[in-house]
Chain A
């Protein structure tokens, strides 16, 4: 908005250099071009759209009444499995992410090569989606919760490691220097100097990631990596929409419960 010059203020905008204005213009142009090109070329089948209201109606009719009776026999156990996957995956992710985060933080590890290497690990871990990680680990460990847990863990390294290294980089230089001046060994500096400073950020990051992982763990089963997604996949393949509805309601309940837990813990310890 502020970049759009109009008639009234046709005189130059001095808060941007011509180069900056050109750069902004190029960005706007690029964005518009990308949107127009995508809309024009993306493959959309009109018959499917025309059919959509009927399909949605059909889906809703098949979903109702929700198969409540299915919960004890077919939902509760995989749902708990999903929660375990999310929690254990988060723990494993944190264990792996902490050393990488220390390597990635420029003030902790003053070695550009190591920083770059650590950042590469973090970016690649994030770039591969949880579901794609899950496909990999299903190939390695076979179908089941172990593959799911590893998928959650490996994808989460990127997120937790990045945020953690940023928190480390923001920590106060003076405190660290004071500890180093006493001749404290490296590990003591980490535990008594860095840890207290990043502790609130650390817990916030862990809780945030766990919350996300609870959601992600629900879909892992679609590729065979355990949890409630397996039940969802089966119900979908058999067109048992009433069971699908039951599973969705259960997932929604868990997601809401997780959010309440996270908010509660955050209020307590942060």
Chain B
């Protein structure tokens, strides 16, 4: 910067080089900009201390009305939970069944570009909308009920599983594929003997993860009428039936934790 005197230059650079903590101006500017944005956004959304204070007051009343949970309508609760479970299981199964061929088609190390592109587009498309929005569209298409939820979560599963599976297939060792191919094996045999063994363990992990995710989401799609416990929960909220709400949410948490324990067990069995 100051290229004035030829003598002053070495001394200046030497001093600069000896700073133990050279300031990172870019990082500081980014932090400042973010702080400004934070204040601006909070103001835009009208977050005021008064609202928080009022909220705390409401919250205390609300929490007191949650307890004790009311399990009297357990039959309704059970029906909703079972439907959520069914939605999650069927959507996961369909999702896996569709993702397996699709991810194989999308793997750039095994397939030509004219096949990988469409497959990738399908996955990106499936991933781009939140499952609830997809559920809204399916509710319009196939009416209220579990089917809309199943289809919505299947779409989400294809987007997510497809991406993970494609990446796993693209990371396999091609040497093993080459060796099986050199023996004159037909394509499907190459896939079965050289590709599947390399990805099987990871796929089990992905499927377990996606089933967990579907279980969580299946408790939610009911809010837009796509079946499962979500509809019951939403109705209870609208009727200010907060002790029933509490019972439902506790059951959901228990089911999801149970699901997580199960998938962890399964992963251990398959040594994922």
Of the candidates B141, B200, B216, which one forms a contact with A52 in the assembled complex, judged by CB atoms under 8 Å apart?
B141
- Are the C-beta atoms of A24 and B145 separated by less than 8 Å? no
Residues on A with beta carbons closer than 8 Å to the beta carbon of B234: 135, 223
- Assembly CA distance A127 to B45 (angstroms): 27
User: Which of B2-10, B83-91, B102-110 contacts the other chain?
Assistant: B83-91
**B13 contacts A by Cβ under 8 Å:** no
- Are the C-beta atoms of A88 and B253 separated by less than 8 Å? no
Chain A: CB-nearest residue to B131: A219
Assuming the A-B contacts A56-B141, A145-B45, A236-B136, are A38 and B129 also in contact, with contact meaning beta carbons closer than 8 angstroms in the complex? Answer: no
Within A105-136, which residues are at the interface with B (CB < 8 Å)?
A: 123-124, 126-129, 131-132, 135-136
- Are the C-beta atoms of A218 and B130 separated by less than 8 Å? yes
Chain B: CB-nearest residue to A19: B269
- Are the C-beta atoms of A222 and B223 separated by less than 8 Å? yes
**Per-position binary interface string of chain A over residues 218-250, scored 1 when its CB falls under 8 Å from any chain B CB and 0 otherwise:** 110011001000001000100000000000100
**Per-position binary interface string of chain A over residues 245-266, scored 1 when its CB falls under 8 Å from any chain B CB and 0 otherwise:** 0001001100110000000000
Closest CB of chain B to A57's CB: distance in Å? 10
Of the candidates B42, B89, B270, which one forms a contact with A38 in the assembled complex, judged by CB atoms under 8 Å apart?
B89
Assuming the A-B contacts A42-B150, A128-B249, are A88 and B45 also in contact, with contact meaning beta carbons closer than 8 angstroms in the complex? Answer: yes
**B128 contacts A by Cβ under 8 Å:** yes
**A81 contacts B by Cβ under 8 Å:** yes
Chain B: CB-nearest residue to A22: B269
- Assembly CA distance A123 to B146 (angstroms): 27
- Are the C-beta atoms of B223 and A131 separated by less than 8 Å? yes
Residues on A with beta carbons closer than 8 Å to the beta carbon of B41: 84, 87-88
- Assembly CA distance A72 to B200 (angstroms): 50
User: Which of B54-62, B67-75, B115-123 contacts the other chain?
Assistant: B54-62
- Assembly CA distance A43 to B266 (angstroms): 28
Chain A: CB-nearest residue to B219: A129
Of the candidates A2, A128, A218, which one forms a contact with B253 in the assembled complex, judged by CB atoms under 8 Å apart?
A128
- Assembly CA distance A34 to B93 (angstroms): 10
Closest CB of chain A to B62's CB: distance in Å? 5
Within B132-153, which residues are at the interface with A (CB < 8 Å)?
A: 132-133, 136-137, 140-143, 145-147, 150
- Are the C-beta atoms of B90 and A42 separated by less than 8 Å? yes
**A41 contacts B by Cβ under 8 Å:** yes
- Assembly CA distance A253 to B219 (angstroms): 28
Within A199-226, which residues are at the interface with B (CB < 8 Å)?
A: 215-216, 218-219, 222-223, 226
Chain A: CB-nearest residue to B92: A35
Assuming the A-B contacts A1-B196, A35-B93, A132-B233, are A127 and B253 also in contact, with contact meaning beta carbons closer than 8 angstroms in the complex? Answer: yes
**B260 contacts A by Cβ under 8 Å:** yes
Chain A: CB-nearest residue to B93: A35
Of the candidates B216, B257, B269, which one forms a contact with A23 in the assembled complex, judged by CB atoms under 8 Å apart?
B269
Closest CB of chain B to A93's CB: distance in Å? 14
**A164 contacts B by Cβ under 8 Å:** no
Residues on A with beta carbons closer than 8 Å to the beta carbon of B249: 128, 132
Interface size class of A (residues with CB under 8 A): 35 or more
Chain B: CB-nearest residue to A149: B45
- Are the C-beta atoms of A48 and B145 separated by less than 8 Å? yes
- Are the C-beta atoms of B55 and A1 separated by less than 8 Å? no
**A39 contacts B by Cβ under 8 Å:** yes
- Assembly CA distance A180 to B270 (angstroms): 40
Closest CB of chain B to A157's CB: distance in Å? 14
- Are the C-beta atoms of A43 and B145 separated by less than 8 Å? yes
Of the candidates A81, A124, A128, A132, which one forms a contact with B44 in the assembled complex, judged by CB atoms under 8 Å apart?
A81
- Assembly CA distance A258 to B100 (angstroms): 28
**A176 contacts B by Cβ under 8 Å:** no
Chain B: CB-nearest residue to A77: B44
- Are the C-beta atoms of A38 and B142 separated by less than 8 Å? no
**B180 contacts A by Cβ under 8 Å:** no
Residues on B with beta carbons closer than 8 Å to the beta carbon of A80: 44
Closest CB of chain A to B202's CB: distance in Å? 13
**B31 contacts A by Cβ under 8 Å:** no
**A73 contacts B by Cβ under 8 Å:** no
**A12 contacts B by Cβ under 8 Å:** no
Assuming the A-B contacts A49-B147, A223-B223, are A141 and B51 also in contact, with contact meaning beta carbons closer than 8 angstroms in the complex? Answer: yes
- Are the C-beta atoms of B83 and A131 separated by less than 8 Å? no
- If A42-B86, A42-B150, A141-B58 are given as contacts, then 15 extra A-B residue pairs at C-beta distance below 8 Å, sorted by A number, are A23-B269, A35-B90, A42-B87, A44-B147, A49-B147, A81-B44, A127-B216, A129-B219, A141-B51, A145-B45, A146-B55, A219-B130, A222-B224, A251-B133, A255-B128
The 3 closest A-B pairs by CB, nearest first: A48-B143, A84-B41, A145-B45
